[in-house]
Amino acid sequence: MSTTLKISTQGGVHTITLSRPDVRNAFNDEVIAELKNAFLAVAQDSAVRCVVLAAEGPAFCAGADLNWMRRMADYTQGENLADAGELAAMLRAIYACPQPTIARVQGDVYAGGMGLVAACDMAVSVDTANYCLSEVKLGLIPATISPYVIRAMGARAAHRYFLTAERFGAVEAHRIGLVHEVVNADALDVKVAELAQALVNASPNAVRACKKLVQDVAEREINDVLVAQTVAGIADIRASSEGKEGVQSFLQKRKPHWMA
């Protein structure tokens, strides 16, 4: 029984809902494990025609949970590799899910949460949502999520938003391709249901084959080599002096030394 997710199925549409609104649906190791398992499980269910990834509360996902970050601050290189590997496995389970996936973005998306949106096949966002790849402010890099985010927004936009850590709105997220539709809050469920119904109405085998076709054709394959590179990238930067300083300054609510 999941403690961080709510899961339901209706009319061939399987909904997985992040249910930690008190911490803005931030990741920790438990959330990562349960999300991975939820997507691996639904992948085996031929009755499910599409999957909606949703969230409760004002934020869709705020990235890493503070308590998890506190533990990570003292991780060794080996522990960082194992930890980042779990996040990578969760993202890959979403991306590789044979059924089409829709991100229902009802609120802000930050850091690792961007990976969730990007790993889904489609994304519908409320017009009030803000987006941010904030890692460089903490002396880190968005390594593990990068294969998915760069595919979604393109390398040109990634150069800007990875490097500046600027916050941008839903209209900009739509312009660069991270999300497909921007609607007001009252229309969010209607638009998600419209897309889900289109998927349910189509040939199940053709939809799955089309999804695989896009993934096979689009640029570089997300394979073990690429995943290992991204896992090593975040582990290395977390263990670096600036990585440790950035996380500690964030947790201690002070400026990092490079801003002193």
| Active site amino acids | 65, 135
Q: What tokens does 51 get? A: 């999957």
In the chain, alpha helices (H): 29-42, 66-72, 77-96, 112-119, 146-164, 170-175, 188-201, 204-217, 224-239, 241-251
Q: What tokens does 170 get? A: 């839903």
User: If you count them, how many residues does the chain have?
Assistant: 260
Contact indicator for 126, 184 with CB cutoff of 8 Å: yes
232 CB-contact burial (10 Å; exposed 0-12 / middle 13-18 / buried 19+): middle
β-sheet bridge partners, residue 162: none
